[in-house]
Chain A
Amino acid sequence: MDPAVDGWREILQPQLLDLGLLAAFMTLALVSFFRKSVALKYVTFVAAVGYLGFTKSSLVSVSDVFRLTDLSVPELKYSLAWYLFMTFVVVTTVLWGRVYCGRVCAFGALTQLMDPIIPRKMRIEIPVRIEKHANQIKYGVLAAVLAYFLITKDVAGPIRYAEPFWMFGLFGTTAMWAGLAVLLVATVFVRNLYCRFLCPVGAALGIVSQVTTVFRIKRWSECNSCKLCEKTCEWGAIRGPLIVKSECVRCDDCERLYMDQKKCPHWLILFKRKGNTAVPSPTLN
């Protein structure tokens, strides 16, 4: 009985469904991103929670950051969907920033799905001076779990407590579920609390975004003085004229405002100068 019996057919066939569904999801995420469509973004959230979350538990975990230290990866031919997923995450992050955090991560999608449901007046807006420091916590979490892993070589231990992604496996201890309950209740009041302040994966992708982001969000010259987008940004990623790339998850809220000829001062000033409103539809590149 020879061990090597798996032909390409045996290797590929069990993976085809996963590959197809993942490709469909990636297409949906990119179409929603390029069309800046709110409706499609919510469809993406539901697909992320349902398929990537509860069906496959395909989330980038901080254990995937651990790999960078020991270069341990699953076998390519048996894990094609995983490689496709990771390539998608890395490429989108390098090109546009934390797109993964903004619409692919099942947990981020879950907390963002709370947005339209929870009344606005229940939300607590964190003052900018606190937010500026609070969103550094996630780098501390990343450094701490990475240090713990490197010293103990224990993968599962830190990720049970530093990230809640195990919840999609519906498998946790009472302590883990209690911690998650506290986190979700806090998220009712502070929007996307975990993603903005605590997530070590977001921290790692934030570092990559900060250094790479090829296609950045363009800004009008009026953005130097206007505060409209800064106030609208739910991720605390806009500070004056500057977009903080490590915080921005490409939610498109500000980009939709830029294109809104009735709200964005860029257009209002332009119309005033020209004395009419017959300006061709804007294109933002």
Chain B
Amino acid sequence: MSQFQKVAAIALSLSCVVAVAAAADRIYTTPNPAAELKRLFPNAAAFSALTGEPLHFTAYGADPKTTPAAPTLGVAFWTTDLVPQEHGYHGPIHILVGMDMTGTLTGVVVTYNSEPYGYFSVEPPKFAMQFRGKKISDPFRVGGDVDAVSRASISIGSAARAIRDSARLVAKQLLPEAAK
């Protein structure tokens, strides 16, 4: 077999694989993040569905079905809904962010990422932990108030920006005037 034939054979088999894969395409999302919402708002009695503009969950202190005046504890939202253009090393990093009504983050949960080095950048609990209690006015600077990981700087930078920018967007539209 000549070199050219070999290259052609490889190209042909690769395109067959692409065709098969396109048919078997899968989308990674977490349609019902009940457990994640509970982690962000442990005291919440009920959560709304994902709704509104921008898309968000509302966390209530009491079930609004039985208590019409149920207090709102905060909101939760997906970074991928708010800043879909924000890509890590390989595609968007799916992060659920919780924020109380004063613009302070109650926490973040990284549910899915396709970062090659996700397992030592955005997956460890240590990464998510550092955003709890952060205010939207904080700088979110990697190497400053967000820990740097020199071997995964693109993943960490993207995740920190996604959290910061989505929280600020939501705060601007949903939080009371004083919290903005």
Q: Are A143 and B28 in contact (CB under 8 A)?
A: no
A70-89 CB contacts (< 8 Å) to partner B: 70, 72-75, 78-79, 82
Q: Chain A residues with Cβ under 8 A from B28's Cβ?
A: 153
Does A210 interact with chain B (Cβ within 8 Å)? yes
**Interface size (B, Cβ < 8 Å)?**
51
Q: Are A66 and B90 in contact (CB under 8 A)?
A: yes
Given A72-B91, A151-B21, A82-B154 contact (CB < 8 Å): yes
Most chain A CB within 10 A, of B14, B116, B169, is at: B116
Chain B binding surface, main DSSP class: helix
Q: Chain B residues with Cβ under 8 A from A147's Cβ?
A: 17, 20-21
- B47 CB → nearest A CB, Å: 25
Total A-B pairs, Cβ < 8 A = 113
Q: Chain B residues with Cβ under 8 A from A150's Cβ?
A: 17-18, 20-22, 24
**Interface size (A, Cβ < 8 Å)?**
45
- B129 CB → nearest A CB, Å: 18
Chain A positions within 8 Å of B, measured between CB atoms, are 1-4, 6, 14, 18, 55-57, 61, 63, 66-67, 69-70, 72-75, 78-79, 82, 139, 143, 146-147, 149-156, 159, 166, 168-169, 171, 207, 210-211, 244, 246
Chain B positions within 8 Å of A, measured between CB atoms, are 3, 7, 10-11, 13-14, 17-18, 20-22, 24-26, 28, 83, 85-91, 103, 114-120, 136-137, 142-143, 150-154, 157-158, 161, 164-166, 168-169, 171-172, 180
Q: A1-B136, A207-B7 are in contact. List 5 more A-B contacts (CB 8 A).
A: A1-B137, A3-B164, A56-B151, A153-B114, A169-B151
